């Protein structure tokens, strides 16, 4: 009499497939977790800046997530662009990532504007591209206002408003 092997095959395949799925799933989760940024990295990914200490009408550079962030505290309304600048207390503030939108070089502050040494791009004090190859204004990083501080790395309603304007 021939032995019916259907059950054995079902059992064999079930074992094989569940073992494979378990191993790959476990390994996947393990690798995912191990390669996640460390707690110290995540902590350094949120930076609080005290606005009262900033110099007026000159950019202050802060290193945040490996990139320079320019913050300019302004009291001269001629240099304020309401679509790009945020009002906190008595002053307007321009906040932007100091990385040229052309090819990522870092522009330098020269005579009331940012000038990029690599390909000659220029941005005004609110980060709007005014000359040369840059295709768009400097990027505004995510920020949140907390009392008289700006917290970089968290999203606040003022940031959402600027980005959507």
Partner 1 sequence: MAEIKETNGIVDWLDERLAVRKLAKVLMTEYWIPKNINFLWAMGIVLMVTFMLLFVSGLMLLAYYKPDVALAFDSVNKTIMQDVGLGWLWRHMHAVGASLIFLVIYIHMFTAIYYGSYKKTREIIWITGMLLFVTFSAEAFSGYMLPWGQMSYWAATVITGLFENVPLVGEDLLVWLRGNFFVADATLTRFFMLHVVLLPISIMGIIALHFYSLRIPHVNNQEGEEIDFDEESKKFLDGNKKESKVIRFFPDFLSKDIFVLCIYLIFFFLLVGFSYNFAMDPINFEPANNLKTPAHIYPEWYFLWSYEILRGFFFDIPQGWWIGLDFLPKIPAMTIGLLAFGFANFIFFLLPFLDRSKVVAPAHKRGAFVVWFWLLLIDMIILTIWGKLPPEGINNVIGFIASMTFIGLFIALPIITIKERNKDKREAK
* Binding-site ranges for partner 1 (CB under 8 A): 32, 35-38, 41, 45, 63, 65-68, 103-106, 118
Between 12 and 104, whose beta carbon lies closer to partner 1? 104
> Closest CB to partner 1 among 3 and 66?
66
The helix (run of H) or strand (run of E) holding residue 24 is helix 6-35
Contact 99, 114 (CB under 8 A): no
Q: What three-state secondary structure class fits 165? A: coil
Tally of residues, the chain: 165
CA atoms 77, 78, 80, 81: torsion sign: positive
Min CB(15)–partner 1 separation in Å: 26
CB of 118 to partner 1, least distance (A): 5
The distance of closest approach from Cβ of residue 49 to partner 1 in the complex, given in angstroms and rounded to an integer, is: 17
Concatenated DSSP letters for 64-87?
ETTEEEEEEEE--GGG--TTTEEE
Q: How far is the CB of 6 from partner 1 (least distance, A)?
A: 33
Query: Measured from the CB atom, is 10 or 31 closer to partner 1?
Result: 31
- Indicate the residue among 25 and 89 with the shorter CB distance to partner 1: 25
Q: Which is nearer to partner 1, 7 or 32 (CB)?
A: 32
Beta carbons within 10 angstroms of residue 54's beta carbon = 18
Rounded to an integer, what distance in angstroms lies between the CA atom of residue 133 and that of residue 160?
A: 27
CB of 153 to partner 1, least distance (A): 9
């Amino acid at each position: 009499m021939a032995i019916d092997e259907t059950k054995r095959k079902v059992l064999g395949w079930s074992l094989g497939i569940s073992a494979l799925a378990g191993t790959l799933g476990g390994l996947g989760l393990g690798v995912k977790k191990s390669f996640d940024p460390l707690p110290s990295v995540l902590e350094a990914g949120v930076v609080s800046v005290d606005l009262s200490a900033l110099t007026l009408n000159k950019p202050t550079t802060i290193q945040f997530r490996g990139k320079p962030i320019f913050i300019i505290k302004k009291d001269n309304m001629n240099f304020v662009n309401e679509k790009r600048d945020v009002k906190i207390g008595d002053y307007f503030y321009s906040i932007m990532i100091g990385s040229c939108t052309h090819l990522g070089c870092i522009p330098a502050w020269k005579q009331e504007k940012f000038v990029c040494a690599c390909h000659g791009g220029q941005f005004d004090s609110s980060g709007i591209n005014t000359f040369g190859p840059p295709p768009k204004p400097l990027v505004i990083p995510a920020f949140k206002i907390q009392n008289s501080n700006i917290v970089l790395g968290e999203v606040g309603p003022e940031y959402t408003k600027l980005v959507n304007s």
